[in-house]
Amino acid sequence: MTLAPRAHSFSFLKPYIRNYARLFILALLCLSVEAGADLLQPTIMSRVIDVGVATKDLRTVVSLGLFMLLVTAVGAAGAVGRNFLSNTVSQRFGAQLRADAYRRILGFRFADIDRFGQGSLVTRLTNDVTQMQAFVNGTMRVFVKAPIVAIGGIIMAIILDAKMAPVLFVVVPIVILVIVLNVRTGYPFYRRIQAALDRVNGVIREYLIGVRVIKAYDRFDDESVRFERGSQELSLTTVSAMRVMSAFSPVISLTVNLGIVAVLWFGGIGVRRGDMRLGQVVAFVNYMIQILSSLMMISWIFTMFARARASAERVGEVFAVSLDEASASRVESTLSAKASDMSSGDGSIEFEGVTFTYEGGQEPALRDISFSCPAGATLGIIGSTGSGKSTLVNLLPRFYEPDTGRVLIGGADIGRLDEAMLRRHIALVPQRSLLFGGSIFENIRWGREDASMDEVEEAAALAQAHDFIIGLPEGYHTRLDRGGVTLSGGQRQRIALARAFVRRPLVLVLDDSMSALDAVTESKLRASLTQDRKADLGGITLVLVAQRISSVRDADRILVLDEGAVAGYGTHAELLETCAVYRDIRRSQVGAGEAVDGRA
């Protein structure tokens, strides 16, 4: 998987722009009313001083004062409308963007998730979306108002007294240059800050997942060091950015304040000479202050823009993968699925020269794998740790795509099948049993939403789980919190097995999913999965991945893997005769004497 080029990473925002364009424009109208009211007030004040106060005309002072109050009230109404709309739009935008991004991530393949990293995806869904949401809010509140007030202030000041215009022509370009430097300098820093935040989130997530192991081995000091390193890196990166960025606001303030000093200096000389009136000087200073405030707001919003741009690119990378690769592949495979359907009920499995390498891996995890298993048979897969067993079965539901070769189920190339349709016919029970919050009944029916209570109980009985479930205080309606931590490992495995059985798939994959069962329970479970009981599950093809030969010895076919390659394929008896790797595994498990005489 490759991330989309940055130049095209903002196209995902088009639907949101269309959805909120009207409210955005309405907010800008309210903001324009507010800005217009702010721009009128210095001019009115100038008239109050130069016409009313200078001539001691109380009537003029009162009438202009009332008019100023009216203008202020209109501006306040515009500000209230602008605040309401900006908050509404930004919150809705953030919620919709976060939900859409989450739905995209739900469609990611394992390679996509591996590429980003789980901690990074969490940061993109939370902090990055929040940065974009804050920018939208800031844009509607101040970003458009600031240039309106700044430009309007310059125009009104020039109209008021063109002689003071050179001060503006010196101050404004300097401030604009500083703002541009601010944005160009800040953007790379903010990308590094978000990347450092990814790493901190990754450390936290690993601790929360592995807290029992960490407690068992008393490795709190090591975890504290890991977190402190990540937190220190985030702190140093943020401090470096703030040190650089902190210089820009004082420079802008200094520049504009020097402009105000120049206005007061030249205005005082003009008033003394009679070339200017006091009200004009006061109004000009007020416009300079408005311009200062506006330019400061522009500087602040551009700082937000730099952060939001970095976050938007990171969120855009999530959308780019889903839209450019996964969605396109889904559309293409849906069209191809019309010619390649699995509805015939054939669960045969065939690998044709399959080679697969994990992204970033140096060596292939699987090399030139070829074998076939007929429908309804039991396929055992065995090999040493790291031989590629789990990788091989992860190719069946298209969690990963092979580099070369084909995987066929029911004679159909799964690369040309719609993923959703393919996975409806496959049930996978992984090594680590994962249960969800809810009742036991809901967890088992998670395998098939329309399963009845009788079907759930039948699947639980087949998984050797029914007896212990009905022994619980609330039976199948017992609530499981935090992944079923109150259950034993074997109980969780049996519920996970029942969830797979209730699905009634064409292909059932058990990836070392009986490792937590005691010998008696495992024996009963294996007996229930023999050929004469498979009718209960609809004549499925059963794939058993195991570390122990005793778990696969009765399989119709046994695939032996060694360092990602096929070391042997056949029945238990055949492999004892022909496969040295299989004999070595058996010897290590049952003793050299029994392995030599070849007895099962």
Give 416-475 pLDDT, tens digit per residue: 888 878 888 888 888 777 788 788 888 888 888 888 898 888 888 888 888 888 888 888
- For residue 595, give Cα distances in angstroms to 228, 582, 586, 587, 599: 52, 10, 6, 5, 7
Question: Distance between CA 298 and CA 318 in Å, rounded?
Answer: 30
pLDDT at residue number 482:
66
Question: Distance between CA 256 and CA 18 in Å, rounded?
Answer: 38
Question: Distance between CA 281 and CA 294 in Å, rounded?
Answer: 20
Non-local (6+) Cβ contacts of 119 within 8 A are: 198, 199, 200, 201, 202, 203, 204, 205
Question: Which alpha helices (H) appear in 140-277, and where do they start and end?
Answer: 145-160, 165-209, 211-217, 220-245, 248-273
Q: Of 435, 360, 353, 433, whose CA–CA distance to 395 is shortest?
A: 353
Question: Distance between CA 276 and CA 267 in Å, rounded?
Answer: 7
pLDDT at residue number 167:
77
Give 139-151 pLDDT, tens digit per residue: 777 777 777 777 8
Report residue 153 as tokens.
Answer: 């202030």
Identity of residue 541? T
Give 311-335 pLDDT, tens digit per residue: 888 888 888 875 444 444 444 444 4
Rg (CA), the chain: 35
Question: Distance between CA 508 and CA 581 in Å, rounded?
Answer: 26
Answer whether residue 34 shows pLDDT above 60: yes
pLDDT at residue number 324:
42
Spatial contact of 297 and 84, defined as CB atoms under 8 Å apart:
no
Question: Distance between CA 388 and CA 243 in Å, rounded?
Answer: 50
pTM score, whole prediction: 0.61
pLDDT at residue number 381:
92
Domains of the chain: 12-319 (1.20.1560.10), 349-597 (3.40.50.300)
Question: Distance between CA 147 and CA 295 in Å, rounded?
Answer: 8
